[in-house]
Amino acid sequence: MEGKPPEEKKKGLLRKLKEKAEDDIQILGTFVRLGVVVWSGFIITLNYVEIPMVQKGQSGGDITFVASIFTGALSSFGLQTSRNGSNSGKTPVNCPMVKKQEE
């Protein structure tokens, strides 16, 4: 008297495949964001570090765009960059590390 188990197995299989695909997309998205953080951090570092036998241009380059990408990528992980005093004592509400320290 097994009337609907094959349909339930199909739905279960499709549901499992969908969940697996969603997990894979989330993992891939995390690696892409991490790659952007590493790349932009590397470009910013190259702007300030002098490498022997490599001559820099006279202008030094404007890294504003790369810095904004770096800041945006960091904020997607929940990190916040700020200068000393620019936060004026206000802590972010959704920052997990601040919540952990308050406990």
Interval 33-67: pLDDT, tens: 999 999 999 988 888 888 787 777 655 678 889 99
Please tell me the pTM assigned to this model: 0.56
**How far, in Å, CA of 87 to CA of 39, rounded?**
26
pLDDT level of residue 32 (50, 70, 90 thresholds): very high
